[in-house]
Amino acid sequence: MEVLDLRKKSSQAKSVGTIISIAGALIVTLYKGVRLTSASPLPGKFLDQLLLSIQSKWVIAGFILLLQSFSLVLTFVVQAWVMREYFAELMATVFCCISVTIISAIVALIAERSNPDAWQIKSNIELIAIGFNAVFVVAFRKAVHLWAVCKKGPIYLAMFKPLRLVIAFIFGIIFLGETIYLGRVIGGASVSGGFYAVIWGKA
């Protein structure tokens, strides 16, 4: 587990880097600022419908993502505690995958209780997507998470979470032609700077 000693430069770097990363993530999410570039035309009707969806749904989605992030960080801390007492990454990964399967099944049953057709696999590509998600997104990722928690601790792993905003921002510009705003640039730079400060403190 992490030890905070503000007299050490490593602890100072980790503390300041964490605060800067969180601030950067909030800036990317809440502050838009002036427009730096114009958006490129977006092909297809799906993206148009996505961007024109009801604003209240975006607020609810943001709140759910906030809860997901909090739960994920809490999971990293619990994993570090469990792996300190029970050092077996493979078995821990199996139990985590079983728990995820049970919880996902319950949530899916509640969400799709009035739509039984949602459980039908209508094409081979859907089956491939499900298999890929099960093997790489759930099992492989969970094993990597447990390994990283054992080697570096929960803070090291959690610091990659804000970095996803920067990656999503870059991919949005490349593939979706999103408009670049000043707030996103400042927030992305803050997240990246804070991330590397924490990595330096952990080194």
pLDDT in tens, 66-79: 777 777 777 777 77
pLDDT band at 100 (very low <50, low <70, confident <90, very high): confident
Do the domain assignments include residue 3?
A: no
Do the domain assignments include residue 137?
A: yes
SS3 at position 23: helix
Residue 59: partners with Cβ closer than 8 Å, 6 or more residues away: none
How many separate domains does the chain show?
Answer: 1
pLDDT band at 136 (very low <50, low <70, confident <90, very high): confident
Instruction: With CA atoms as reference, report the closest residue to 202 among 13, 44, 65, 6.
Output: 13
What is the pLDDT of the chain when averaged over all its residues? Answer: 75
Q: Which amino acid, one-letter code, is at 24? A: G
Q: How much is the CA Rg of the chain, to the nearest whole Å?
A: 20
State mean pLDDT over 182-186: 85
Do the domain assignments include residue 2?
A: no
CB 2 within 8 A of CB 154: yes
Instruction: With CA atoms as reference, report the closest residue to 125 among 117, 133, 137.
Output: 133
Longest dimension (CA), the chain: 60
Task: Give the domain range for residue 155.
Answer: 9-38+56-202
State mean pLDDT over 114-139: 79
Do the domain assignments include residue 51?
A: no
Whether residue 132 is predicted with pLDDT greater than 80 in this model: the reply is yes
Do the domain assignments include residue 89?
A: yes
Task: Flag the least confident range among 20-29, 56-65, 73-82.
Answer: 56-65
**Residue count of the chain:** 203
State mean pLDDT over 46-69: 63
H helix intervals, the chain: 9-30, 45-51, 55-85, 89-111, 124-132, 141-152, 154-158, 160-176, 182-202
Do the domain assignments include residue 105?
A: yes
Do the domain assignments include residue 45?
A: no
State mean pLDDT over 53-81: 70
Whether residue 4 is predicted with pLDDT greater than 70 in this model: the reply is no
Q: pTM of the predicted model, to two decimals? A: 0.55
Do the domain assignments include residue 49?
A: no
